[in-house]
Structure 1
């Protein structure tokens, strides 16, 4: 459902960028276009993962959760920034579904999965890349908020970034990185989701710079290269973590063993 709704919203934004006229500041329209482009790609990959899902897979759902996290962030921006066009209810639906998908996934992590095994060097590298984000963005965003708090000024756009980053994304980076440093099962298993989210989110910023000429704007190398470098870092960490992570065979619960035993003894 998240994939289908995202395909509708993103395709409409790419086909008619003018749906943002008067709603999104003119200088932010290239960013909205690039976000729709990345959201379209994320939705296609997510739809493929959903259609081909099998019960014994572990790593593919981790990638899917990262994409769901990206869509939560992307459409959270549209919802919080009051992007009141004809698709606003679709934006709200994707935002809500993505949020509750993440909540349900966290609540139903399979308890029968053994603790993943990850080489120490990879574990420390993956966790260090993740914890770097809150160490940078907490001081940066709070430093930008303090003057607004002193003056009471209410900015007209991009205030959603403060909300989403400080309340949701940076805490996720922080918690999962600390758990991974401690070799905790949840951190080892879920840290790649935040790397996938970081890649898609930051890469959309790089693409936003590349598409600026389409909107009679000038590409800023000072914004493009750091975004591209950071997105490549997230992509490399996600690939490295998932490739090197080993998960042993899933042990059957007693209930599952009893069920199989009953079937074996049944004459049918």
Structure 2
């Protein structure tokens, strides 16, 4: 089974049971055990004459090997714990969580656009309030937009709790358009580009691509053919005056 297909299991409640009753920290090897089975970290054991839970004596040279192995397996705190994340997970699931953690740090997506600038930097969970407050003129809360201008276009789409950056621009004799996601949710999406002729309703261009991460280089995505690239001769067929009938959408993938 691929790592990204593993079910997400939060082991924080279990980890809270695997703590030393004296110092309240996760048990680390070697451990010490009293006659009743209460398990302590060795540092605390050396400070105690008897078990602080039941007043029982400690067993000489006895360790709780099973507890030590479990603690070693699940004792992986999210690296964004300093930002507020409380998750503790297995070593296998930790990378999956980290890639989706809402306490992951990021900059404003608009910083990726040459003509835009925003000094905002925070955690993922604060991104939606930021764009709604500071970039309201670029925000659409529908899953589709009309991108009709024959020049660069930048929009932010908020759909199903996810934040998407849409960018269209012209370079040389080619048009480029891309949608990237900030990673606020675990859902999967695809981008849809539809260009229609205002004179001939039948003729159209329809292109669909997986939505890429905001952390990926746009240049790499275009070079690998993972987003829309059209040359001027194609675009000219659908241009009327200084506008083009182009719809852009994001759709959830089941």
Of structures 1 and 2, the one scoring higher in RCO (CA 8 A, sep 6+) is 1
TM more than 0.5:
no
The TM-score with structure 2 as length reference comes to: 0.27
The structure that is strand-richer by fraction is: 2
Rg larger in 1 or in 2? 2
